[in-house]
Amino acid sequence: MPTLQWVGKDKVVNHHLDVPFRVLNKVSSFRAPEGAPANSTDNRIIHGDNLEALKSLLPEFEGKVKCIYIDPPYNTGNEGWVYNDAVNDPKMKRWLGQVVGKEGEDLSRHDKWLCMMYPRLKLLHRLLHDDGSIWVSIDDNAAGLLRPLLDEIFGGANFVATVIWEKADSPRNSARQFSTDHDYIFVYSKKPDWTPARLPRNEESDAIYQNQDDDERGPWIPGDPFANKPYSKGLYTIKGPTGR
């Protein structure tokens, strides 16, 4: 399987193993009485470095998380957002200097972004349940880098789908070239036989099915049996309820 190579990769491939375990300092909220015992169903907000936070969850949650969603920096180079999207903040620079070494000072923003993402994705893979899935938001600035990275860590055979979601419903007149209106969510599973948990049927979803001709097979919904682009091997005989 093809893999990405970048400056500093050899330093971060196993860095998740070197990240120290941290003990989480519990601060009770107004919903949890002081001294109440914690359990695995508690909601938690963890304040701290996300790499260390992920490592701190391993003792309790390794292989137990059914669904993971992350919204990492999009690697646009924009430093003016609430979250520095240039992967260029002082703490990240210090981390790169410690882990990658001297050459970390001259990394491109793409090298930095990949160095940042790799150990975090490795820990997320360890947290994921065998019947779990991970959903990763990204835009077209880093989609081409993220996809092979996810293939390498989660396995290309475990790629499920690319979900397209609309982020804007009107064009931007200030766009220099194209006005983009969508971003992506890459979906991967832990195992190839993963299936999504579908919503159960209810009265509202069943209401679109009717049985106007008392078909013994039950309610049905009309559909178009014609393909937009028919081809010779795609022609099939269809027998209707009347036998014609």
CATH number at residue 85: 3.40.50
Q: Looking at residue 125, what is its pLDDT?
A: 98
pLDDT given for residue 234 in this prediction: 66
Q: Which tokens go with 187?
A: 């979906």
> 149 in a domain, yes or no?
yes
Q: Is residue 113 part of a domain?
A: yes
Q: Is residue 132 part of a domain?
A: yes
CB atoms within 10 A of CB 44: 11
Domain total of the chain = 1
pLDDT score at 35 = 62
Residue 77 in domain? yes
Instruction: Give the model's pLDDT for residue 81.
Output: 44
Tens of pLDDT, residues 189-231:
999 999 998 889 899 988 888 888 888 888 888 877 666 666 6
DSSP assignments along 70-114, one per residue: E---------SSSS-TTS-SHHHHHHHHHHT-GGGGG--HHHHHH
Q: Indicate whether 38 belongs to any domain.
A: no
Does any domain span residue 95? yes
Query: Domain range for residue 84?
Result: 1-32+44-244
Is the residue at 135 inside a domain? yes
- Which residues of the chain register pLDDT less than 70? 28-42, 77-92, 102-106, 225-234
Please give the C-alpha separations between residue 124 and each of 40, 59, 115, 153, 187, in angstroms, as whole numbers.
Answer: 17, 13, 15, 10, 13
Q: Would residue 37 count as lying in a domain?
A: no
